Amino acid sequence: MSDRYLNLVNSGMGKTVASRLGLPRPEVLRRYHVGDPLLPGPLLLGGSGAPVLAGLAGVLKAAGVDVRDADAADAAEARWAGLVYDATDANEIRDLAVLRDFFAGALRRLGPSGRVIVLGRSPEGSDPVVDATRQALDGIVRSLGKELRAGATANLVLIEGDASPESALRFLLSGRSAYVDGQLIRVGGGAAPADPVRPLDGKIALVTGAARGIGSAIADVLARDGAHVIVADLPAAGEGLARVANRIGGTTLQLDIARPEAPATLLSHLGERHGGVDIVVHNAGITRDRLLANMKPEQWDSVLAVNLEAQLRINTVLLGSTVLHDGARVVCLASTSGIAGNRGQTNYAASKAGIIGMVRSYASAFARREATINAIAPGFIDTDMTHAMPFATREVARRLNSLQQAGLPVDVAEAVAWLASPSAGGINGQVLRVCGQNLVGA
Amino acid sequence: MSTRRAAVVGGNRIPFARADGPYAHASNQDMLTATLDGLIARFGLQDERLGEVAAGAVLKHSRDFNLTREAVLGSRLSASTPAYDVQQACGTGLETTLLVANKIALGQIEAGIAGGVDTVSDAPIAVNEDLRQVLLDVNRARSLGGRLRAFGGLRPGQLKPSIPRNAEPRTGLSMGEHAAITAAEWGIGREAQDELAVASHHNLAAAYDRGFFADLVTPFLKLARDQNLRPDSSLEKLAKLKPVFGRGEGATMTAGNSTPLTDGASTVLLATDEWAAQRNLPVLAHVVDGETAAVDYVHGDRREDGLLMAPVYAVPRLLERNKLTLADFDFYEIHEAFASTVLATLAAWEDPDFCRNRLGLAEPLGTIDRSKLNVNGSSLAAGHPFAATGGRIVATLAKLLHEKGSGRGLISICAAGGQGVVAILEAA
């Protein structure tokens, strides 16, 4: 469904009117297409973190990025596509002022859908000054995200030890992260190499709830990135499911994941038909919205059964089986409702918050198999579900984030595909919001 | 020359819909294409060139002369997959299965799809036969005068279109009327027929409920289950229906124990074991053998040569060739054109005189364990889109055998024109 307001304020006349009236002017976001460079223009690299920084310039250049530093001759006139600041050795409050200097000079020349990325380290609980400085980065990036306009985003990458931030940087700089804003990503070790164009080549992926909406977009993107995708959904959704499978050269599995025998059915299908699975995307979910005071037990139970219990049972079975290949990637769809709460959604929020607890709890067990499990929490994404909302409610909801627009299913799919890639092995047990930095929800 | 056994890899059908229901505006080509695409999606056959696709429809528009090929071209199969149409009335779906399986067995192809489709909603309506003759005469006339003379043959009555009828051309009787004669001749009672119908509904509903059809059926036009299915069917409800076929006190056949007019399509994927193994695809069952018989229902005996009695003759010949008895099966799939047809078939096989005189058997062919008959329901519950029934039964039986892990199953399908197609599948 098209965002008419977004189209209007990006038309000649609409742009002028919106600008004069001070109305929100959402940008048409830069989204990834195969063959796109990581960035459409030069990147300014700054910071004082000597060890990380030294490697960083080389990594970015190798990725085809036009990397400049503040001393370059034309730095004062350049129009930046991205600003990356390495604050990994920021340990005192005055180090933050250096960061301020860097951004103050460059932000005005950040282009549309620009990227601001700060690299830092996690507070580790030994020195209060160091920890305060490191935690301060979080406040800076989140505020910056709210200040940026024209589709630009700001994100914080925290590096553990000598882990490489390359995979996270590639994702965040590219159009794949169009709707990822104000996020904090912790990167540990465990990244495996992958072809940047077809990072999922040869992988077997399962996507549940794939007949339409976000699920079908995930299937599309995983297939585009090289995976053979098994699309699963309820038997009653089989017509749309077959269309998705035939579009992407995948295969269908009509399955109600909430049935008691579903984990066993899934396991034998994945094992016998595909020799195992590398990527599992738990996307299937239902809503039965009702105020808690009015909620019927079956409305509560069905949402918890499909959205949470089914995933728990399937993940446990997979984890204990060689059908789940070592180095596998499991991505579970949570929701900003599970983080911020939502009126009328105690059951749904319970299930989605539960997902967050689940991935954190599973992380170490998955790590022992060089596998990862993470959650994606979509914010307001334009789907059939939001299409059914009343017009005014939908229009307001669309603007309540730093990018002043709803995300698209493909935005969620891109984040899923990144976490599913071999190079994202350093990210485990985390929750990544794809919400355009929604104003509600941490 | 050595032969190979053709494997049933799987199947796909759309839920069957009652005539003028959800599929009222879907053509045969729409339904067959959607059914093929569901099969392709299930088994990842996009852009594959298969040996052939054989399918057909009983009620077919003249423009659909290449129906199956057109459906293949509209599907996600490689456009270099050849296809042809077959029409053997209600036997079409099973006959195409045998044709494709035979080519596989002979080594002519490695894999193929068999199927069938029928719509009674989107039925072909032709111009009146008299009108057609006049129009052809006009076309043949060489002069203006000749054309005008030919036009002179036009009459208002010729505006009445010719609508296909569910009737035998040589007797003018509908299939139901023929079946009613057979039911009366064999003394098939109303209650026995209703019992069979109730079992069909209950069995089909239970199979859906346990997820049996999750990998055999793909929804179409928002219909996810066979529309005709009545899970709450009961003897009491069926007993209230008035007979629709046959006359007077002895009439036993109602809308409840006869199949309704139905729209739908089905397909079956057949291949060699090697072809399936190369693609990590399952082998559910093997096609062992098939046999087709026909009876002279026009001039023959009223009792023993009924229109739908041909399978009664086909099965003993098939058993004889395969050195099997009627008891050697774990599942029996006898197409329920009418409940009375199934019961008359069973009665004939149990009748010593009939078996001796007409089948040449010293003993009756035997009795079927009814708990092995149509265990997941059949046409009375699912409905019967003529050419699609064979594919439905082959895929269902193959999966039943696969679940059991051993044994064999017998398929029997009666068809218009006094024909019958039967086959044996064996667990892989």
Q: Does A133 lie in the same domain as A210?
A: no
Inter-chain CB proximity B219 and A259 less than 8 Å = no
Cα dihedral across residues A379, A384, A390, A391: positive or negative: positive
Q: Which residues contact B161 (CB under 8 A, 6 or more apart)?
A: B125, B126, B127, B128
Flag whether A245 is in a domain. Answer: yes
Give me the residue from A246, A249, A254 closest to B214, CB to CB. Answer: A254
Per-residue pLDDT of chain B (428 residues; tens, 9 = 90+): 678 999 999 999 999 999 999 999 999 999 999 999 999 999 999 999 999 999 999 988 888 999 999 999 999 999 999 999 999 999 999 999 999 999 999 999 999 999 999 998 877 777 777 878 888 888 888 888 888 888 887 787 777 777 666 778 888 888 889 999 999 999 999 999 999 999 999 999 999 999 999 999 999 999 999 999 999 999 999 999 998 887 777 789 999 999 999 999 999 999 999 999 999 999 999 999 999 999 999 999 999 999 999 999 999 999 999 999 999 999 999 999 999 999 999 999 999 999 999 999 999 999 999 999 999 999 999 999 999 999 999 999 999 999 999 999 999 999 999 999 999 999 99
Flag whether A52 is in a domain. Answer: yes
Which residue in chain A has the smallest CA separation from B279?
A273
- Within 8 A of B42 by CB-CB distance, chain A residues are 242, 245, 251-252
| Annotation says B355 is catalytic | no
- Any A CB within 8 A of B141 CB: no
Q: What CA dihedral angle connects A82, A88, A89 and A90, to 10 degrees? A: 70
Inter-chain CB proximity A256 and B41 less than 8 Å = no
Which of B97, B15, B117 is CA-nearest to residue B285?
B97
**Residues B263-298 pLDDT 10s:** 999 999 999 999 999 999 999 999 999 999 999 999
Q: Does A313 lie in the same domain as A236?
A: yes
Q: Does A295 lie in the same domain as A214?
A: yes
Q: Does A254 lie in the same domain as A183?
A: no
**At which of A142, A159, A187 does a domain end?**
A187
Q: What CA dihedral angle connects B118, B120, B125 and B126, to 10 degrees? A: 50
Q: Does A299 lie in the same domain as A268?
A: yes
Residue A51 has a pLDDT of 61
Supply the CATH number for residue A229's domain.
3.40.50.720
A66/A233 Cα distance (integer angstroms): 44
- Any A CB within 8 A of B47 CB: yes
CB A214 within 8 A of CB A409: yes
Q: Does A423 lie in the same domain as A353?
A: yes
Min distance B281 CA to chain A CA atoms (Å): 6
B171/A157 Cα distance (integer angstroms): 83
Q: Which residues contact B26 (CB under 8 A, 6 or more apart)?
A: B119, B121, B122, B220, B221, B263
Give A188-239 as a DSSP string: -S------SSSTTTT-EEEEESTTSHHHHHHHHHHHHTT-EEEEEE-GGGHH
Q: Does A221 lie in the same domain as A183?
A: no
Which of A239, A244, A259, A277 is the best mutation test for B, with the most CBs of B within 10 A?
A: A239
Q: What CA dihedral angle connects A156, A159, A163 and A165, to 10 degrees? A: 10
Which residue in chain B has the smallest CA separation from A233?
B214
Q: What DSSP state is assigned to residue A179? A: T
Q: Does A209 lie in the same domain as A180?
A: no
Q: Does A136 lie in the same domain as A265?
A: no
Inter-chain CB proximity A249 and B47 less than 8 Å = yes
Query: In three state form, how does the secondary structure of chain B look?
Result: CCCCCEEEEEEEECCCEECCCCCCCCCHHHHHHHHHHHHHHHHCCCCCCCCEEEECCCCCCHHHCCHHHHHHHHCCCCCCCCEEECCECECHHHHHHHHHHHHHHCCCCCEEEEEEEECCCCCCCECCHHHHHHHHHHHHCCCHHHHHHHHCCCCHHHHCCECCCCECCCCCCEHHHHHHHHHHHCCCCHHHHHHHHHHHHHHHHHHHHCCHHHHCECCECCECCCCCCCCCCCHHHHHCCCEEECCHHHCCEECCCECCEEEEEEEEEEECHHHHHHCCCCCCEEEEEEEEEECCCCCCCCCCCCCCCHHHHHHHHHHHHCCCCCCCCCEEEECCCEHHHHHHHHHHHHCHHHHHHCCCCCCCCCCCCHHHECCCCCHHHHCECHHHHHHHHHHHHHHHHHHHCCCEEEEEEEECCCEEEEEEEEEC
C-beta atoms surrounding A292 within 10 Å: 11
CA atoms within 13 A of residue A310's CA, in its CB half-sphere: 28
Task: Write the single-letter amino acid at A100.
Answer: R
A312/A310 Cα distance (integer angstroms): 5
Q: Which residues contact A43 (CB under 8 A, 6 or more apart)?
A: A60, A65, A66, A67, A68, A80, A81, A82, A83, A84, A115, A173
Inter-chain CB proximity B219 and A272 less than 8 Å = no
Flag whether A5 is in a domain. Answer: no
Flag whether A9 is in a domain. Answer: no
Min distance B253 CA to chain A CA atoms (Å): 34
Task: Give the 3-state secondary structure percentages of chain A, helix then strand then coil, rounded to 5.
Answer: 45, 20, 35
Inter-chain CB proximity A252 and B38 less than 8 Å = yes
Which of A94, A49, A83 is CA-nearest to residue A173?
A83
Which of A204, A241, A254, A256 is the best mutation test for B, with the most CBs of B within 10 A?
A: A254
Which residue in chain B has the smallest CA separation from A240?
B219
For residue A98, the enclosing domain spans: 31-187
Cα dihedral across residues B10, B15, B17, B22: positive or negative: negative
Q: A343 is written with which tokens?
A: 């009126």
Flag whether A298 is in a domain. Answer: yes
Give me the residue from A239, A259, A272 closest to B211, CB to CB. Answer: A259
- Any A CB within 8 A of B44 CB: yes
Which residue in chain A has the smallest CA separation from B221?
A239
What domain count does chain A have?
2
Q: Does A351 lie in the same domain as A250?
A: yes
Task: Write the single-letter amino acid at A342.
Answer: N
**At which of A141, A156, A187 does a domain end?**
A187
- Any A CB within 8 A of B48 CB: no
Q: Which residues share a beta bridge with B7?
A: B271, B286
- Any A CB within 8 A of B173 CB: no
**Residues B63-109 pLDDT 10s:** 899 999 999 999 999 999 999 999 999 999 999 999 999 999 999 99
**At which of A187, A215, A237 does a domain end?**
A187
Q: Does A181 lie in the same domain as A120?
A: yes
- Within 8 A of B37 by CB-CB distance, chain A residues are 242-243, 246
A396/B78 Cα distance (integer angstroms): 48
Flag whether A214 is in a domain. Answer: yes
Q: Does A265 lie in the same domain as A143?
A: no
Inter-chain CB proximity B214 and A255 less than 8 Å = yes
Give me the residue from B43, B46, B281 closest to A249, CB to CB. Answer: B46
Flag whether A193 is in a domain. Answer: no
- Within 8 A of B215 by CB-CB distance, chain A residues are 253-254
Inter-chain CB proximity A235 and B40 less than 8 Å = no
A315/A321 Cα distance (integer angstroms): 10
B179/B309 Cα distance (integer angstroms): 9
- Within 8 A of B218 by CB-CB distance, chain A residues are 238-239, 241-242, 252, 254
- Within 8 A of B221 by CB-CB distance, chain A residues are 239
| Residue whose entry in the numeric block shows the structure tokens 């104000």 | A182
Predicted complex ipTM: 0.88
Per-residue pLDDT of chain A (442 residues; tens, 9 = 90+): 577 777 777 777 777 777 777 777 788 999 999 989 999 999 999 887 666 667 888 889 988 999 888 776 666 678 899 999 999 999 999 999 999 999 998 999 999 999 999 999 999 888 999 999 999 999 999 999 999 999 999 999 999 988 999 999 999 999 999 999 999 999 998 888 888 889 999 999 999 999 999 999 999 999 999 999 999 999 999 999 999 999 999 999 999 999 999 999 999 999 999 999 999 999 999 999 999 999 999 999 999 999 999 999 999 999 999 999 999 999 999 998 888 888 889 999 999 999 999 999 999 999 999 999 999 999 999 988 778 778 888 888 888 888 889 999 999 999 999 999 999 999 999 999 999 998 875 4
Which residue in chain A has the smallest CA separation from B77?
A246
